Amino acid sequence: MVEKILSLDRKLFVYLNGLGSESFDGLWLMITKQTSWIPLFIVILYIIFKKIGAKQTLILLLFVALLVTFTDQVANLFKNGFQRLRPCSEPDLKNSIRIVKSSATFSFVSGHATNSMGITTLLYLIFKNHFKYFGFLFLWPLIFAYSRIYLGLHYPLDIIGGYILGWVSGFMMFKIYQAAQIKYFPQ
């Protein structure tokens, strides 16, 4: 059963990765860099600041930093525990895929998917009742994580596993944030 799932995962990766084109490689290399998203982060931070003020925004940033630290470390534990080779490092795949970027680290789970889904989940749960279209924020982890498949760095299951881990982590941090708000930071 596991072999069949991994085989389907591999086939889906080869298909999705094969959709790429050299003319778009630069775009996807830019998309995969966290720093490329700074303008989006600044806009979101500004919107949040206008809604909840400076003190609450700083408290929220602390929780986001804790979440990123947690998801980063847990994703690395998964990677080192499963030790799944990245597609770009897989000898059987090297000649049949587009490798735009390489990495020697392990693949499962995607840290990009874990971090972006964790942050998005936390922010969505906090602000879903304050902003009408805040759900569109989930486009960020979708685009961000797809870049990893495009570049040859992750299988789809790495992304899905990262999304699940990120969602669970974001939800847990939301619960901790709620409890802390009630006990330590009442508005």
Average model confidence (pLDDT) for the chain?
94
Return the domain boundaries, the chain: 2-183
Contacts of residue 48, defined as CB under 8 A and 6 or more positions apart, other chains included, come to 57, 60, 123, 127
Per-residue pLDDT reduced to its tens digit, 36-81: 999 999 999 999 999 999 999 999 999 999 999 999 999 999 999 9
Calculate mean pLDDT across residues 107-122.
96
pLDDT cut 90: percent of the chain above it: 86
In this structure, what token pair is assigned to residue 5? 């799932």
**Secondary structure letter of residue 137 according to DSSP:** G
The pLDDT score that the predictor gives to residue 184 is 75
In this structure, what token pair is assigned to residue 8? 């389907």
Question: pLDDT grade, residue 119 (50/70/90)?
Answer: very high
In this structure, what token pair is assigned to residue 64? 């986001």
Instruction: Read off the pTM.
Output: 0.92
CB 157 within 8 A of CB 43: no
Question: pLDDT grade, residue 110 (50/70/90)?
Answer: very high
CA distances in angstroms from 17 to 109, 112, 125, 156, 187, listed in the order given: 18, 17, 32, 10, 48
CA 166-171-175 angle, to 5 degrees, is: 145
Number of CB atoms found within 10 A of residue 96's CB:
11
